[in-house]
Amino acid sequence: MVLIVPAFTSLRSGTDVTSAAYTIKGVLDTARTYAKANNTYTWVGFYEEDSTATTPTNNAPAYPGKGRVLLATVGSKDGTKIYQDTDPAAALPSDRISQVGKLVKIEGMHLTDIGNPSPTPNPTPVPDTVPARPYTPYTEGSPFDNFNRISSDSTDTTRFTFAAQNYTFYKTIRFSPRGEANINSTYTLKHEGEIGIKPTHGTVVDTNSPNVVAIQFGGIGGDVKIYRR
């Protein structure tokens, strides 16, 4: 039993991270499908708080909380993106958006950068794994390459935040009626964006766990793919 416990713990942690990744993928896929089907714009918001929080919190990034990731999706009621990308920063008006689906809560996870893979890794990694994934979310558009990623540890915020169920979502991905994905709502269309996730133990991020996942989504097609170690 002593020998079995470590393997079981690692397997359980890996399964949780994979499940969280597929949950996030499902939210992104639903938002993209809704935008295309209804010829409108949708926004998926990301917020992270302490796993011990009992009431909604609304801290600005970098999110100080750890261990509970919340996702909300809203859609434009009139089919427009409400604000032009060059407009001054403002919250999306509550009377012009409506929530799509329920608030999603994922326990035991942290959104963070998981590192830039080499464009020419050596030795060649196994396909479809974290080391083999496209490296463009870490290089495209430098010095603003951080706008290609969603991380609770980054101070980046969208120009146009939105509120849902007493939470304010400062980090968003916007989908157009064509299914295009735009990180942080206002920046130039990217080839790929990334969301990295690591497991937590309560409010502490497990920095030693090998069970990290990268979720990448294309800017043009909005397709979502999961990469595991």
pLDDT, one tens digit for every residue, the chain (229 residues): 344 444 333 344 456 899 999 999 999 999 999 999 999 999 999 999 999 999 999 999 999 999 999 999 999 999 999 998 888 889 999 999 999 999 999 999 999 999 888 777 778 888 889 988 988 888 765 556 667 889 999 988 888 999 999 999 999 999 999 998 887 655 666 678 899 999 999 999 998 888 899 999 988 877 899 999 8
**Sole residue written with tokens 């009139």:** 78
What is the per-residue pLDDT for 35? 97
Residue range(s) defining the domain that contains residue 82: 4-228
Number of domains in the chain: 1
Cβ-contact 45, 66 below 8 angstroms:
no
Dihedral (Cα; 93, 97, 100, 103), 10-degree rounding: 10
Q: What is the pTM of this model?
A: 0.89
Please give the pLDDT value at position 5: 40
